[in-house]
Amino acid sequence: MLQRRIALILAVLLLTNLTPNSFAGQDIATDIQSMPAGTNVEVRLKTREREKLRGTTGAASASSFTLTDTSAVYHRLAFDDIASVKRINGKPSHTTRNVLIVAGVRVVLNPPTKHPIHPKSSMSTHHCLPSHLEAATSET
């Protein structure tokens, strides 16, 4: 019973960390305005091609902000034109943590067997031979 509760708690923690920021009650404008100027970001636009821009944040107003790309070109982007924004190198990746949580849940729900599948005491070389060789060894 305790193992199932731990597995459920780990699964909930994993799922809450996988949801996008928009589901957490934050919108893109709030995210960008809360970032300090000079933060490295990747912005995906709402265009048909879902164009992706990378650069650093600049001044932000109520409806737009400035993005400076690697070529030192300034882009004034309206918040309404942005599909998503994420920090680059701003916070560490959680991949390792998520893999460990999934592995822990798997072990709790499916513990490894206590006995090996083929114990050495029950194996003999006779059972490992192909059938045409078994007949030859049984005749001698």
66-92 tens-digit pLDDT: 999 888 889 999 999 999 998 887 555
Domain assignments of the chain as residue spans, ordered by start: 2-115
Q: How far, CA to CA in Å, does 16 sit from each of 28, 37, 98, 100?
A: 19, 28, 11, 15
The CATH label, of 3.30.230.10, 3.20.20.70, 2.30.30.100, 3.40.190.10, for the domain at 2-115 is: 2.30.30.100
Q: Per-residue pLDDT tens for 2-32?
A: 788 887 787 777 766 554 443 433 588 888 8
**For residue 15, what are its two tokens?**
């799922």
Number of alpha helices (DSSP H) and beta strands (DSSP E) in the chain: 4, 5
